[in-house]
Structure 1
Amino acid sequence: MTQSLRIIFMGTPEFAVASLQRLIDAGKNVVAVITAPDRPSGRGLQVVSSPVKKAAETAGIPVLQPEKLRDPAFLEELRGYAADLQVVVAFRMLPEVIWAMPTVGTFNLHASLLPQYRGAAPINWAIINGETETGATTFFIEKEIDTGQMIFQDHEPIQPDDTAGTLHDRLMERGADLVLRTVNAIETGAYPRIPQPTATDLKPAPKLTRENTEIDWNQPAEVVRNFVRGLTPYPSAWTILNQKFFKIYGVSKATEPTGDANSSAEPGKLYTDNRKIILVRVADGWLSLDQLQAEGKRRMTAEEFLRGNRL
Structure 2
Amino acid sequence: MKRVVFFGSIGLARKCLEEIVTGQDIELLGVCCSPIISGWREDESVYSYCESNNIPILTFDEVEDLSPDIGFSVRYDKIIPEKVIYSFKQGIFNTHGGILPEYRGSYCNINALINNEEEYGVTLHYISKGVDVGDVVAIKKVKITEDDTGFTLYKKSEQLCYDVLRENIQDIVNDTNKRIPQEDLIQSGHSFGTYYAKSTLEKKSIGLENLKNSMNIVRAFDSPYHEPAYTEVEGKKIYLRVSYGSSEKQ
Same fold by TM-score, threshold 0.5 exceeded? yes
Cα distance in 2 for residues equivalent to 1:24 and 1:140: 17
In structure 1, runs of 5+ residues without a counterpart are 43-48, 67-73, 256-311
Cα distance in 1 for residues equivalent to 2:232 and 2:12: 31
| Identity across the alignment (%) | 25
Match of 2:206 among 199, 202, 216: 216
What do the CA deviations read for 1:139-188 (whole angstroms, capped 9, x no partner)?
A: 11122211111111112111111112222222211211211333211122
Match of 2:179 among 193, 202, 207: 193
What do the CA deviations read for 1:256-297 (whole angstroms, capped 9, x no partner)?
A: xxxxxxxxxxxxxxxxxxxxxxxxxxxxxxxxxxxxxxxxxx
User: How many residues are aligned here?
Assistant: 236
What do the CA deviations read for 1:197-254 (whole angstroms, capped 9, x no partner)?
A: 2268447352235971422235462x52211221221353234333223443326699
1:95 Cα deviation after fit: 1.8
Cα distance in 2 for residues equivalent to 1:211 and 1:162: 18
Is 1:30 aligned with 2:15? no
Is 1:96 aligned with 2:82? yes
Aligned to 1:241: 233
Cα distance in 2 for residues equivalent to 1:248 and 1:20: 38
**1:16, 1:172 within 8 Å by CA — same for their partners in 2?**
no
Structure with greater strand share of residues: 1
Read off the aligned partner of 2:206 and give its amino acid letter: D
Structure with greater helix share of residues: 2
Cα distance in 2 for residues equivalent to 1:213 and 1:50: 33
Aligned to 1:51: 45
Cα distance in 1 for residues equivalent to 2:218 and 2:66: 44
Aligned to 1:19: 16
1:18 Cα deviation after fit: 3.4
Cα distance in 2 for residues equivalent to 1:132 and 1:178: 20
1:86 Cα deviation after fit: 1.0
1:26 Cα deviation after fit: 2.4
**1:117, 1:202 within 8 Å by CA — same for their partners in 2?**
no
> Is the radius of gyration larger for structure 1 or structure 2?
1
What do the CA deviations read for 1:76-128 (whole angstroms, capped 9, x no partner)?
A: x2234442111112222222111111111111111222111111111111122
Read off the aligned partner of 1:123 and give its amino acid letter: N
Match of 1:153 among 105, 120, 139: 139
